[in-house]
């Protein structure tokens, strides 16, 4: 059994960067049993053997007020089903010791071997601060090491010191166990060792004058949003096209090379295209997380939360909830994972419950298809066209609905005393790129595990439903009639027909219902299902004109699959319905109960149905 050390520190102390510098990719992320707090363990090579480092959630004190702080405290006290750690490594930002040193006193009172790591030593010097480290160590009694985490300075020395916590010197003096005494103790200590006080960061002051300005700050905030969206939609596009092209080519190659038959079709259409449907989102989600971690570590996210807090406050949420909602515009799976930074369980739940209203990228193919098929490309004003405005309208409808429903939940279902809102505005810092890369990789792995397995199973299941039971096709049928025949006799058709009482009032026929059933697994499956249902082998350029296929008279039924009214109704249905099993699974994981994902699925379906029905009535 190797030694176990706990890494503890307040938010913004540089703890995560230090953990990543010490452990790199050799860290495992999981959940603590019964709670949804990240449990991160990493192996550290000390030169004299390996030790296990436990990265505890950031906390300002051992008097926990949120779930993740409570976990940190329980791990330290050995109440999480494991023995207490063999030693505690406390991380403190050298520039904010006046605030963080009192927590050290709290930790020392636990009586376990403790080592203090001072981070941001370079920034301390740059801002004119200087401590008598020798005297500091003497007065504290315990080992104190200075590091610069993002440049790796002092890390080797620290590794060596982690080998044997039992040899760490014990504290010289401890204050009375109350908050005021701890602050007095820290103030007294710092007074003795401080040679020069730290100056306020001039760069931070100058940047805040612009970024937090009532008018300019808003402008910068909207520019930030624009860059954010531009990045996740445009910059990720080439990589996404490459992934999509590769999986398509691979599937075609399989169809071409392997003997024709059901197994080949399953491999190509079910498995390869199914996995491809997930992989195609990987570049976008990686970029999304990279941007979030970058802006978080740089200090801007806290400022953005400050700027939007007034609006979020109206909805009963706080500034930090906005980050999760913003992420959900790429994909609600990472968005819901990002709610972990929200301290209040009620705010967190309210954010989770509305996050899927944000227009995720899986809706974009569906929106683009329906808009191009049914809305004329008329110029309205300048560069704006009716199609573009329709798309923007759908995005805004999603965002506004999310805020409105959050307000509704916080005033009803999730009413109650809220946690105090406080948010540290750390100095602006240039983040460690290596540390960000490590964090992005960890999140991607969770995404691939959660979404990957569900979409793979979903697309195999869908393929089976669309192709079975296999029936004899009369010889005189054209290929189009043969395909229609297989579909009409499939299990999918049975499901589509059985859904007619529910969806007929919204203007959908049983074939559209098949697409809807498929998109309950994942929204983007709607497009590929419609392509399979409505494109016939003798159509020629089938994929280029899926939009036209939806508005033309179907050669088999003689009617168009969708009209303007039913297309509008379908768009509204997609704005509101929770058509995503991955989201369902991640909500189950993050709330630890089936109750919330089931509730979400139900209320969103109800809203979607009513909204789509009303839209259909307006346009018909």
Partner 1 sequence: MNPLHSAPATLAELSQAGVARIRFVQGDDNAAMRLRELGFTPGTEVSFCRQAPFGGPIVVALRGYQLCLRVNEAKRVLIETIGDQK
Q: What residues line the site for partner 1 (CB under 8 A)?
A: 60-61, 63, 65, 95-99, 102-103, 179-180, 183-184, 198, 200, 208, 212, 214, 302, 305-307, 309-310, 313, 319, 419-426
- Shortest distance, position 97 Cβ to partner 1, whole Å: 8
Residue among 186 and 525 whose Cβ is closer to partner 1 = 186
Nearer to partner 1, 99 or 552 (CB): 99
When the beta carbons of 42 and 102 are compared against partner 1, the nearer one is: 102
Nearest CA-CA partner of 20 in 438, 440, 443? 438
Pair 13, 93: CB distance under 8 Å? yes
Query: Least separation, in Å, of the C-beta of 59 and partner 1?
Result: 10
Give min distance, CB of 329 to partner 1, in A. 23
Distances (CA, A) of 188 to 97, 175, 436: 12, 11, 37
Distance CA 391, CA 298 (A): 32
Please check whether residue 199 is in contact with residue 131, taking contact to mean a CB–CB distance below 8 angstroms.
no
Query: Residue 160, preceding bond cis, omega within 30 degrees?
Result: no
Q: How far apart are CA 589 and CA 503, in angstroms?
A: 30
Tell me the C-alpha distance between 189 and 182, whole Å.
11
Min CB(186)–partner 1 separation in Å: 9
Query: How far is the CA of 61 from the CAs of 17, 80, 104, 107, in angstroms?
Result: 20, 18, 9, 9
Q: Classify 563 as helix, strand or coil.
A: coil
458 φ/ψ angles, rounded to the nearest 5 degrees: -60, -45
Q: DSSP letter for 316, please.
A: T
Distance in Å, CB of 314 to partner 1, minimum: 10
- Residue partners of 80: CB distance under 8 A and separation at least 6: 32, 33, 71, 74
- CB of 509 closer than 8 Å to CB of 523: no
CA distance 442 to 444: 6
If the CB atoms of residues 307 and 330 are measured against partner 1, the closer one turns out to be: 307
- Please state the closest distance from residue 278 (CB atom) to partner 1, in A: 38
CA atoms within 13 A of residue 182's CA, in its CB half-sphere: 18
Residue placing its CB nearer to partner 1 in the complex, 118 or 302? 302
* Nearer to partner 1 (CB atom), residue 60 or residue 224: 60
Q: Residue 110 and residue 88: Cα distance in Å, rounded?
A: 10
Q: In angstroms, give the least distance from the CB of 322 to partner 1.
A: 13
Gap between the Cα atoms of 277 and 452, Å rounded: 9
Element (H, E) at 9: strand 4-9
Closest of 331, 293, 51 to residue 150, by C-alpha: 293
Q: Specify the residue, 218 or 544, whose C-beta has the smaller distance to partner 1.
A: 218
Decide: 114 and 144 in contact? Cβ < 8 Å: no
Report the nearest approach of partner 1 to the CB of residue 296 (Å): 15
User: Least Å distance between CB 104 and partner 1?
Assistant: 13
Which lies closer to partner 1 via its Cβ, residue 29 or residue 61? 61
* Residue closer to partner 1 (CB basis): 96 or 327: 96
Q: What is the DSSP letter of 153?
A: B
Cβ of residue 310: shortest distance to partner 1, in angstroms? 4
Contact 591, 539 (CB under 8 A): no
Other beta carbons less than 10 A from residue 230's beta carbon: 10
Report the candidate in 483, 494, 471, 450 with the shortest Cα–Cα distance to residue 555: 483
Give the residue with the Cβ less far from partner 1, 174 or 495: 174
Nearer to partner 1, 233 or 421 (CB): 421
In the structure encoding, which two tokens stand for residue 437, read together? 């890369």
Segment holding 42, helix H or strand E: strand 38-45
Residue 605, token pair as written in the block = 């379906």
Give the nearer residue to partner 1 in terms of CB position, either 99 or 442. 99
* Shortest Cβ 302–partner 1 spacing (Å): 7
Closest approach, Cβ 304 to partner 1, in A, equals: 11
Structure token digits, residue 237:
């596009």
User: Distance (Å, rounded) from C-alpha 273 to C-alpha 271?
Assistant: 6
Residue among 195 and 310 whose Cβ is closer to partner 1: 310
Q: How far is the CB of 240 from partner 1 (least distance, A)?
A: 37
């Amino acid at each position: 059994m190797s030694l176990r050390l706990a890494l503890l520190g307040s938010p913004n102390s540089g703890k995560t960067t230090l953990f990543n510098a010490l452990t790199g990719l050799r860290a495992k992320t999981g959940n603590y049993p019964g709670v949804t707090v990240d449990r991160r363990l990493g192996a550290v090579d000390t030169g004299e053997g390996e030790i296990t480092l436990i990265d505890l959630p950031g906390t300002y004190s051992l008097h926990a007020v949120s779930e993740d702080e409570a976990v940190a405290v329980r791990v330290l006290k050995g109440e999480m089903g494991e023995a207490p750690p063999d030693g505690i490594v406390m991380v403190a930002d050298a520039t904010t010791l006046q605030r963080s040193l009192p927590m050290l006193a709290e930790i020392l009172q636990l009586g376990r071997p403790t080592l203090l790591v001072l981070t941001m030593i370079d920034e301390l010097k740059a801002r004119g601060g200087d401590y008598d480290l020798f005297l500091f160590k003497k007065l504290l009694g315990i080992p104190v090491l200075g590091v610069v985490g993002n440049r790796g300075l002092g890390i080797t020395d620290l590794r060596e010191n982690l080998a044997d916590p039992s040899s760490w010197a014990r504290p010289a003096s401890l204050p009375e166990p109350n908050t005021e005494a701890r602050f007095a103790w820290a103030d007294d200590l710092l007074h003795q060792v401080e040679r020069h006080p730290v100056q306020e960061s001039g760069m931070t002051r100058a940047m805040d004058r612009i970024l937090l300005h009532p008018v300019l700050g808003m402008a910068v905030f909207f520019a930030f949003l624009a860059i954010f969206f531009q990045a996740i939609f445009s910059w990720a596009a080439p990589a996404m096209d490459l992934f999509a092209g590769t999986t398509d080519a691979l599937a075609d190659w399989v169809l071409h090379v392997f003997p024709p038959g059901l197994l080949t079709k399953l491999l190509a259409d079910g498995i390869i295209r199914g996995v491809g449907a997930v992989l195609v989102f990987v570049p976008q989600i990686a970029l999304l997380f990279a941007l979030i971690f970058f802006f978080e570590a740089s200090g801007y996210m806290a400022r953005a939360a400050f700027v939007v807090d007034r609006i979020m406050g109206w909805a009963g949420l706080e500034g930090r909830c906005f980050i999760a909602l913003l992420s959900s515009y790429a994909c609600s799976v990472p968005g819901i994972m990002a709610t972990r930074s929200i301290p209040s369980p009620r705010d967190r739940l309210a954010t989770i419950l509305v996050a899927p209203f944000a227009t995720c990228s899986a809706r974009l193919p569906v929106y683009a298809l329906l808009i191009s098929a049914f809305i004329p490309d008329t110029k309205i004003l300048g560069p704006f066209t009716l199609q573009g405005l329709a798309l923007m309208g759908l995005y805004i409808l999603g965002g506004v609905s999310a805020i409105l429903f959050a307000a509704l939940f916080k005033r009803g279902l999730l009413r109650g005393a809220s946690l105090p809102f406080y948010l540290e505005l750390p100095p602006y810092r240039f983040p460690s790129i290596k540390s960000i890369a490590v964090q992005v990789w960890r999140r991607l792995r969770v995404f691939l595990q959660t979404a990957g397995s569900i979409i793979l199973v979903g697309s195999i299941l869908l393929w089976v439903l669309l192709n079975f039971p296999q029936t004899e096709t009369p010889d005189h049928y054209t290929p189009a009639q043969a395909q229609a025949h297989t579909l009409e006799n499939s299990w999918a058709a049975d499901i589509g027909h059985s859904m007619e009482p529910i969806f007929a009032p919204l203007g959908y026929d049983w074939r559209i219902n098949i697409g809807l059933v498929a998109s309950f697994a994942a929204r983007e499956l709607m497009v590929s299902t419609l392509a399979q249902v409505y494109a016939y082998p003798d159509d020629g350029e089938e994929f280029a004109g899926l939009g036209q296929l939806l508005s033309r008279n179907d050669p088999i039924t003689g009617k168009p699959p969708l009209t303007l009214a039913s297309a509008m109704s379908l768009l509204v249905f997609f704005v509101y319905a929770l058509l995503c099993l991955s989201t369902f699974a991640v909500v189950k994981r993050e709330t630890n109960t089936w109750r919330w994902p089931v509730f979400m699925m139900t209320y969103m379906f109800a809203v979607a149905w009513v909204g789509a029905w009303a839209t259909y009535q307006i346009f018909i």
